[in-house]
Amino acid sequence: MSKILPAHLQIGQLGEQKAKKYLVDLGYCILKENYRYKKSEIDLIAQHTDTIIFIEVKTRKEHYLAPERAVDIKKQKAIVRAARYYIAQHQLDLQVRFDVVSICLNPFEIVHFKDAFWV
């Protein structure tokens, strides 16, 4: 029996699917989705040329608040902590970047913030 997710989680999943398609269409290779390290989660981990990109996806139903504003310093530090573990675990020697993909569903808009933060 499949579990019905709360509306906000369904919106988040839809946003992640749209972000993934957007990135793949740009030539990114998605390495991992919803990577967890302790209490931290990285929505998407991708590689593009010689760079590994850790991507936070923020989705809102309507354009009342820029979704990317929800990626505060606490969230950034959690993503960086998980990214460091991922890099060490996989012994990667690539350039690193942290991006935010902001998605508004109504009206539909995707904004990709490359190098959105570094902590």
Give 107-112's long-range contacts (Cβ < 8 A, gap of 24+).
107/63, 109/63, 110/18, 110/19, 110/22, 111/68, 112/22
pLDDT (tens digit per residue) in 5-35: 667 668 888 899 999 999 999 999 999 999 9
63 φ, ψ to 5°? -90, 45
What would be the CATH architecture of the domain defined by 29-113?
A: 3-Layer(aba) Sandwich (3.40)
pTM of the model: 0.89
Place of tokens 């970047």: 97
Better-scored residue on pLDDT, 21 or 117: 21
Q: How many other C-beta atoms can be found within 10 angstroms of the C-beta atom of residue 59? A: 24
Instruction: Spell out the alpha helix ranges (H) of the chain.
Output: 7-25, 73-89
Domain boundaries, the chain: 29-113
